[in-house]
Amino acid sequence: MSCAQPLVDAFNRRITYLRLSVTDRCDLRCSYCMPEAMQFLPKKEVLTLDELHKVALAFIDRGVSKIRLTGGEPLVRRDMIELVRALGRKLGDGLDELTLTTNGTQLERFADDLAAAGVKRINVSLDTLDPVLFETLSRRNRLGDVLRGIAAAREAGLKVKLNTVALKGLNEAEIPFLIEWAHRHGHELTLIEAMPLGEIDGERADHYLPLTAVRDDLEARWTLTPSEHRSGGPARYVQIAQTGGRLGFITPLTNNFCAGCNRVRVTATGQLYACLGGAEQVDLRAALRSDAPDANVALALDEAMRIKPEKHHFRIERGAAPAQPRPMSLTGG
């Protein structure tokens, strides 16, 4: 396939990775992600399956080789597996990797279909193995579904990476146990600092836990050896001698990683956000629904490269407004 002009931003960063949100809806209500009474978008505002497919193809044509489907919870969108199948056909034909980030609640049902469509690895978010804390954190009693989903994914041959948001006073004390559990089951685990995105019910600062502190704590317990391993994203890794597994750290607050940014995000309504932490956006839905969709989508992608900011500026302070009013569930985490 001929590749049109590659996507390169004003800071000479080549964009090869798209995070595409297929829905803003979710079957959990994680307290750090959204309020209990989250208002979801009317369905008509959300891109159709065909529009999502066209967006993905436009990016592949501009040299994007990795696509992660996300949300909201991607697996709550009923027709999403058809998109996975359609994009799976682009693997080896412009696309190197198709993956998704999921909360795992519906994975038991979809694991085989995902594997059959060419998905090899998925990320599952898991903040706790304690059913009571799971229900407190996500406001839903679904830990059993998630654990069955993870097991089904493994059985289907998918490599499962776990993502855990570190939360002071919530899962803080459980982090070493989560890491041991993950490594015992053959999963890599990556810890993530909570980001100030979207309004939530409580005070974000109460549960913000810098990973610098977590790392100090883990170093007092285990031998952590920095690893050269890179997954094409912002995570930095260590190998843990005692558990025999790899641990990642994503540190948007304590160690900015924007210089190596290779990605953009598209919401389920077709807004391309050039940076997770910024307001810069272009409207792909308007371009797709215009008289000259191909040309206008190409122009919108060029514009996105011009406006992509150099870095995010996250701070978590008591009483402060979020860096962006939109939650991760809208932008596509």
Q: Which of residues 73-132 bind ligand SAM (CB under 6 A)?
A: 73, 101-103, 125
Count of residues binding ligand SAM (CB under 6 A)?
A: 19
Q: Write the single-letter amino acid at 257.
A: F
Which range touches ligand SF4 (CB under 6 A), out of 65-73, 180-188, 227-235, 254-262?
A: 65-73
Q: Which among 65, 92, 69, 96 has a CA at the least distance from the CA of 81?
A: 69
Q: Which of 9, 13, 15, 29 binds ligand SF4 (CB under 6 A)?
A: 29
Structure-block tokens of residue 16: 């090869």
176: helix, strand or coil: helix
Q: Which of 33, 83, 122, 258 binds ligand SF4 (CB under 6 A)?
A: 33
Q: Which of 20, 71, 153, 240 binds ligand SF4 (CB under 6 A)?
A: 71
Residue found by looking up tokens 């810890």 in the block: 191
Q: Which of residues 26-55 bind ligand SAM (CB under 6 A)?
A: 26, 32-33
96: helix, strand or coil: coil
Q: Which of 26, 52, 122, 258 binds ligand SF4 (CB under 6 A)?
A: 26
- The Cα–Cα gap between 227 and 244 comes to 13
- The Cα–Cα gap between 266 and 24 comes to 11
Strands (E), 25-180: 66-70, 97-102, 121-125, 159-166
Residue found by looking up tokens 């910024």 in the block: 278
Burial of 174 from C-beta contacts in 10 A (0-12 / 13-18 / 19+): middle
Q: Which of 21, 72, 145, 265 binds ligand SF4 (CB under 6 A)?
A: 72
**80: partner contacted, choices ligand SAM, ligand SF4, none (Cβ within 5-8 A by kind):** none
Q: Write the single-letter amino acid at 70.
A: T
194 binds ligand SAM (CB under 6 A): yes
189 binds ligand SAM (CB under 6 A): no
Which range touches ligand SAM (CB under 6 A), out of 68-76, 81-89, 206-214, 305-313?
A: 68-76
149 binds ligand SF4 (CB under 6 A): no
Q: Which among 11, 18, 119 has a CA at the least distance from the CA of 62?
A: 18
**266 with 20: CB under 8 angstroms?**
yes
73 binds ligand SF4 (CB under 6 A): yes
197 binds ligand SAM (CB under 6 A): yes
30 binds ligand SF4 (CB under 6 A): yes
Q: Give, for 236, the enclosing helix (H) or strand (E).
A: strand 236-240
74 binds ligand SF4 (CB under 6 A): no
Can you give the binding site for ligand SAM, defined by CB under 6 A? 26, 32-33, 70-71, 73, 101-103, 125, 163, 165, 192, 194-195, 197, 328-329, 333
Can you give the binding site for ligand SF4, defined by CB under 6 A? 26, 28-30, 33-34, 71-73, 103, 125, 329
